[in-house]
Chain A
Amino acid sequence: MKKVLLILPAYNEEGNILNTVKQILEFRGIEDVQVDYVVINDGSTDSTEAICKKNGLNCLTLVQNLGIGGAVQTGYIYAVKGGYDIAVQFDGDGQHDINSLPQLIAPILAGKADFTVGSRFLEKKDTFRSTLMRRIGIKWLSCLIRLVSALHLADVTSGYRAANKAAIAFLARNYPMDYPEPESAVALKKAGFRIKEVQVNMFERATGKSSINFGKSIYYMIKVSLAIVCAGIQRKEKVIHADTASD
């Protein structure tokens, strides 16, 4: 029996969190796999915490807002403490389709990958709408990642990802604070983990707004590009912030 933890980072997701968890609880399940979840409430200022408490959700509330990176990392630390075999990042806003979970974790269960990334664009069949600028940005980051780490990723910003035990331990120790997805993928690749991209289904956001608006996108591109290059030239042995992190 493999233990799988779904990490649900949630910042001001009062409109979505209950439905997201409901979908997880209604999920038909996978044979020989136990699926748990934890909501990481990232110091929400709305009623996210109250909703979680009222409905008895498994919710870990951060005492202050840390941003997506700090919240997801808390989930990985939780996974280490709970002895989970696989941890899956699953957005609290209902974007990710729980029915894609079997495909996402299949390569890890089969021992063929240490870390899988759920991609919207691996096969052309999907209908995920995206602006031209966004597609150009993703293409650029994808090329940059390939250049510095020889890692082929189509959907670099995907937050629907799964990690095995060794990758969980690595991510619990090293995780970037903001816009962490592309950077952490490069760091994992550099540390010698096997990464595989898997086609998954995603939905348009149900309610609330995306964490990345137009004003932030320039900062996003510069920060992430720099982070990828820095992670790319980082030597394998040197692990970021190892001195301050522990389990």
Chain B
Amino acid sequence: MPILLRIEMIVLALIIAVVVIVSINRKKLMIQYSLVWLVLVVALVVVAGFPQIIFALCTIFGIQTPSNLIYLLGLIALLLITFSQSRILSKQTERIKFLTQSVSIEKYQAEKKENEDHDE
């Protein structure tokens, strides 16, 4: 594996790590959602440090150049992250709907009670 690619991967890993940790500290990112990105950082560093892993995987999967395998793995990782976000989004949509309904019903009942008290 070219040394330049390995350096690039480590730089990329560092940038991601810094952005993720700064985001956590500024309360812009929850720990539970940061883990997947930190796993990505670790994976990048491991592969840059021990390119043999990639060569071994290339042989197993029959892929000719290591960079192709890295792109493939990167793509799969992004797909998994995006899919998990779609699921989180759906769950939150359901929760927002439930909250909206609950708040609206509470508000309706409070106003109704107020009107009744007013009438008496």
Residues of A within 8 A of B (CB): 60-64, 66, 70, 73-74, 77-78, 81, 177, 241, 244-245
Q: Known A-B contacts: A62-B101, A73-B97, A177-B97. Give 15 more (CB < 8 A).
A: A61-B108, A62-B100, A62-B104, A63-B107, A66-B100, A66-B101, A70-B97, A70-B101, A73-B101, A74-B104, A74-B105, A77-B101, A177-B93, A244-B91, A244-B95
| Chain B hits for A63, CB < 8 A | 100, 103-104, 107
Contacts known (A244-B94, A244-B95); A77 close to B100, Cβ less than 8 A: no
> What residue of chain B has the Cβ atom nearest to residue A241's Cβ?
B94
Complex Cα gap A74–B101 (Å): 6
- CA gap between A136 and B91 in the complex, in Å: 34
> Which residue of chain B has its CB nearest to the CB of A38?
B108
**B interface residues with partner A (beta carbon < 8 Å):** 91, 93-95, 97-98, 100-101, 103-105, 107-108
Q: Write the chain B residue with the least CB distance to A61.
A: B104
Q: Which residue of A is nearest B95, CB measured?
A: A244
10 residue pairs, one from A and one from B, having the closest CB atoms:
A60-B108, A62-B104, A74-B101, A70-B97, A244-B94, A63-B104, A244-B98, A241-B94, A63-B103, A64-B100
> Are the CB atoms of B93 and A77 closer together than 8 Å?
no
Residue in chain B with minimal CB distance to A53 = B111
Q: Are B107 and A245 in contact (CB under 8 A)?
A: no
Which residue from A60, A61, A66, A78 sits with its C-beta under 8 Å from B97?
Answer: A66
Would you give 30 A-B contacts (Cβ < 8 Å), ordered by A? A60-B104, A60-B105, A61-B104, A61-B107, A61-B108, A62-B101, A63-B100, A63-B103, A63-B104, A63-B107, A64-B100, A66-B97, A66-B100, A66-B101, A70-B97, A70-B101, A73-B97, A73-B101, A74-B101, A74-B104, A74-B105, A77-B101, A77-B105, A81-B105, A177-B93, A241-B94, A244-B91, A244-B94, A244-B95, A244-B98
Q: In the complex, A241→B90 CA distance in Å?
A: 10
CB-defined contacts of A66 to chain B, threshold 8 Å: 97, 100-101
- Closest chain-B Cβ to A88's Cβ sits at a distance in Å of 19
In the bound complex, how far is the Cα of B105 from the Cα of A63, in angstroms? 9
Q: How far is the CB of A66 from chain B (nearest CB, A)?
A: 6
Least distance between B106 CB and chain A CB atoms (Å): 10
CA distance A134 to B37 in the complex (A): 47
A60–B91 alpha-carbon span in the complex (Å): 25
A73 to B100, CA, bound (A): 12
A62 and B106 alpha carbons, distance in the complex (Å): 10
Measured between beta carbons, the chain A residues less than 8 angstroms from B101 are 62, 66, 70, 73-74, 77
Interface centre among B93, B101, B108 (most CB of A within 10 A): B101
Nearest-neighbour CB distance to chain B for A85, whole angstroms, equals: 20
| Complex Cα gap A70–B98 (Å) | 8
